[in-house]
Amino acid sequence: MNQKWNDRYKDVEFAYGKEPNIFFKEWLLKLEPGSILMPADGEGRNGVFAAKSGWKVDAFDISIEGKNKALQLAKENNVSINYIVEDLDLLQYKKETFDAIGLIYAHFPAEKKAIFHKKLNTYLKPGGVVILEGFSKNHLSYNKQNPKVGGPKDLDTLFSEAEIIHDFKNYEILLLKEEEILLNEGKYHIGKGSVIRFIGRKK
């Protein structure tokens, strides 16, 4: 898995572009800046945007090439982010450290998805906010019609509203919906797709 993402991120071109995800940007700007954790932040487009917006950013991914690109992007934007290359299994942040967590296309292996979500929950302060956008289970049909839209091809890795409700039980749901959207993020997210969008505040 690491090799797949290293191969994707080693190109000069940014795989998903340099601009932040639209949904992430919209909701982050509604929050008072604090500390944010960005799991699976890839080449850093979202983490760097958060840093530019006044947030203290901790990010991680399994790809060293992703980290290299993220630090390059941070330098271009005159900001700094703390970026670690590691699996979530092995990461240990202090409990209730972060004011927000950004889960933007952070698709974890099916057998670990709920476990990882619960682990991330422990890192968020009470009152903290999760911003999540990821491909829904219905996205498989979109991917078959247009492979350029990207996304996992394993149904169990994709999201459903029921899974989000289950994994984030101790949250006030500010927004939870499945939507068809038009993606235009670099060369790997192009075209119509089906996503789950979730904004939750930890109780």
- Give 61-103 pLDDT, tens digit per residue: 999 999 999 999 999 999 999 999 998 889 999 999 999 999 9
Q: What is the pLDDT of residues 132-161, one digit of tens each?
A: 999 999 999 999 999 999 999 999 999 999
As a whole number, mean pLDDT of residues 163-173 equals: 97
The ranges assigned to domains in the chain are: 2-202
According to the model, what pLDDT value does residue 191 have?
97
Element (H, E) at 189: strand 189-202
For 91, other C-beta atoms within 10 Å of its C-beta total 15
% the chain with pLDDT above 90: 96
Question: Contact, 188 vs 116, CB < 8 A?
Answer: no
According to the model, what pLDDT value does residue 2 have?
80
Pick the CATH number of 2-202 from 3.40.50.150, 1.20.1050.10, 3.50.30.10, 3.30.70.260: 3.40.50.150
Question: Contact, 177 vs 197, CB < 8 A?
Answer: yes
% the chain with pLDDT above 70: 100
According to the model, what pLDDT value does residue 183 have?
97
Q: Give the residue with greater pLDDT, 29 vs 88.
A: 29
What is the DSSP pairing of strand 98-104 with strand 82-85? Answer: unpaired
Q: Which residue has 């919209």 as its token pair? A: 26
Residue 1 has pLDDT above 70, yes or no: no
pTM of the model: 0.97
| DSSP E strand stretches across 43-170 | 56-61, 82-85, 98-104, 124-135
